[in-house]
Chains A and B, each alone.
Chain A
Amino acid sequence: MTESGPFAIEVRGLAKRFGDVRAVDGVDFAVRRGELFGFLGPNGAGKTTTINMLTGLARPDAGTIRIAGLDCSKNPKAAQHLMGIVPDESNLYPELTGLQNLAFCGALYGMAKPDRERRARELLETFGLSQATHRRFAGYSKGMKRKLTIAAGLIHGPPLLFLDEPTTGIDVASARQIRQLIRDLNRSGTTIFLTTHYIEEAERLCDRIAFIVEGKIVRIDTVEELMRRTDGRHVVQFAVSNGAGQACEAMVAEFPNLHCQAIADGQIRVESSEPVCVGPLVRLLEDRGAEVSEARKLRPSLEDVFVEITGIEAGAMKQEKEGGRKGGGV
């Protein structure tokens, strides 16, 4: 990356409209070199449109984008040399093998044959895909496809990597491996722009996070600063076998200073600014005929901050994005 300042990405007043819909509405942010920057929001919030504009797959209606100081409207191809792009779908060529796919992607960036083949083998090794070097991409599992797609984004050694939903729809073990690879990449100096709907994933990986809702950035901060909003908040979650809704109503009536909410699968979530005494609550639940199988004290999470800032239930966002697909998760 050229030494043109501290920022890998600088975005000012970025806007994009599709008909009457303002997909991105005057977005400003900057990503520092070497940073792992999270970009979070529900479906239709403008994440993909923003990424498309940053990478050159969409033209902004207004605003400026600078990649490592390069103005993307003037030097889009020079900027593309500095980026690795991993889309939300594993879009490599099904009829090519793992090695051929990576080597082909290297060729797209002008790498000479010996260089791209050496780098492709290195990446296959790094991503634990050596045994599938000569297997066709069509025969890869979902997790392997995802890993190879990320490897393809890294073939030319870009200093900036765009990762769009890297762990969506894959098994837990592969998702863990991918997260570790993302950490390692970032530690080795690669700037990463990550979009994910797994808020816990963003919390674990990112240095800073931007929340985007309806095309506008509603908050950008470090994970620590965002989490500070939850200081002094106490959360207990109960698992009850039946009547969670009624039991929750009884709790609200009996303990008005507690915030109680019946959530999915017989779970009741209790929040308070004071430490929560579990005993009276369990007794109340059992008096109302609900059998309590578990009571857990929870650490407030980034998900709570997300819900508070955006007003959107994170679980709903996750379900919406996955569309019933299995796997992924944190």
Chain B
Amino acid sequence: MKAWIAFWNILRKDMATYYLKPPNLSWGIIFPLAWTAMFFIKSGSGLESITTVLPGVMAVSVLFGTTSMLAVTVTFEKRGRSFDRLLLAPIPLELLMLAKTGGAILFGIANAFVPVLMAAFLVDLSGVAWATLVPAVVLIAISSTFLGLMIAVSVSEVFEAQTFSNFFRFPMVFLCGLFFPIEKLPSLFRPVSYALPLTYGADLLQGSIRAAGCLPAWLDFLALGAFCLGLFLVSLRRIRTKWIV
């Protein structure tokens, strides 16, 4: 119970201090808007093409929203030593890191639904398989957040976290089947695609919005779940070996 009081208050503080601040709120709205507009204009087709670009825009919004925030909530606090206060508190490390990442996960989920909300005014979304889409968005947000966490605990400076994040983010935009089908990628890149968590998330989104998934949904969920667990455990290990030396 006591640990959960700590968990809730860490999450609440991060939400109030970081995620619900006007700059981040505007980022959460403007960024998906810009992506949607960009791909919609680029496609050059009518409104019906919105559902084609929607899975990619949702995934990119989650990916950028979550990974950017971790650099602040973790790397910045570690740099300012306020993170040490959390490490010294009598809370299990697993719960502490779930609290620190919880805000980013919620922020990522909210980011994903901004383009969905916009699309709902323009096209008919009655064919969307929401029962698949919602858990898919949650798992994409979790895996992207834990990827951001792994990056954040591997560096010392905020700018390093941002740079290192881009090293993962931009290739993922092109390699995960968000806007270009994986089967059309050069054969050399295809194994790399399947080593990235967002590939499975994008496939679930394609399947739930356009019924155009390539892999069975259960396999996508399984792979995403495995990435979430793996990335979280690697991050915890990094914290234990690097920050509690």
Q: Which residues of A contact B81 (CB under 8 A)?
A: 87, 89, 91
Contact present for A80 and B88 (CB under 8 Å): yes
Binary flags per residue of A109-130, CB closer than 8 Å to B gives 1, else 0: 1111000000000000000000
Q: Which residues of B contact A96 (CB under 8 A)?
A: 13, 17
New A-B contacts (7) at CB < 8 Å, excluding given A92-B82, A110-B2: A91-B81, A91-B85, A93-B82, A107-B8, A108-B10, A110-B1, A112-B5
Interface centre among A59, A78, A81, A110 (most CB of B within 10 A): A110
Cα A186 to Cα B3 with chains together (Å): 29
Q: Which residues of B contact A57 (CB under 8 A)?
A: 84, 87-88, 244
Q: Which residues of B contact A77 (CB under 8 A)?
A: 90-92
Closest residue on chain B to residue A152 by CB atoms: B85
Interface centre among A55, A57, A83 (most CB of B within 10 A): A57
Which A residues, 49 to 107, have Cβ-Cβ distances below 8 Å to chain B? 55-59, 77-78, 80-81, 83, 85, 87, 89, 91-93, 95-96, 104-105, 107
Q: Which residues of A contact B85 (CB under 8 A)?
A: 91-92, 105, 108, 152
Can you identify 25 A-B contacts, CB atoms within 8 angstroms? A56-B88, A57-B84, A77-B91, A78-B90, A80-B88, A83-B88, A85-B88, A89-B81, A91-B82, A91-B85, A92-B85, A96-B13, A96-B17, A104-B9, A105-B85, A107-B5, A107-B8, A107-B9, A108-B9, A108-B10, A108-B86, A108-B91, A109-B6, A109-B89, A110-B5
Binary flags per residue of B30-59, CB closer than 8 Å to A gives 1, else 0: 000000000000000000000000000000
Q: How many A-B residue pairs have CB under 8 A?
A: 67
Instruction: Tell me whether chain A's interface is mostly helix, strand or loop, or mixed.
Output: loop
Contact present for B80 and A110 (CB under 8 Å): no
B131 within 8 A of A: no
B188 within 8 A of A: no
Contact present for B5 and A81 (CB under 8 Å): no
Cα A81 to Cα B90 with chains together (Å): 6
B117 within 8 A of A: no
Closest residue on chain A to residue B85 by CB atoms: A91
Q: Which residues of A contact B9 (CB under 8 A)?
A: 104, 107-108
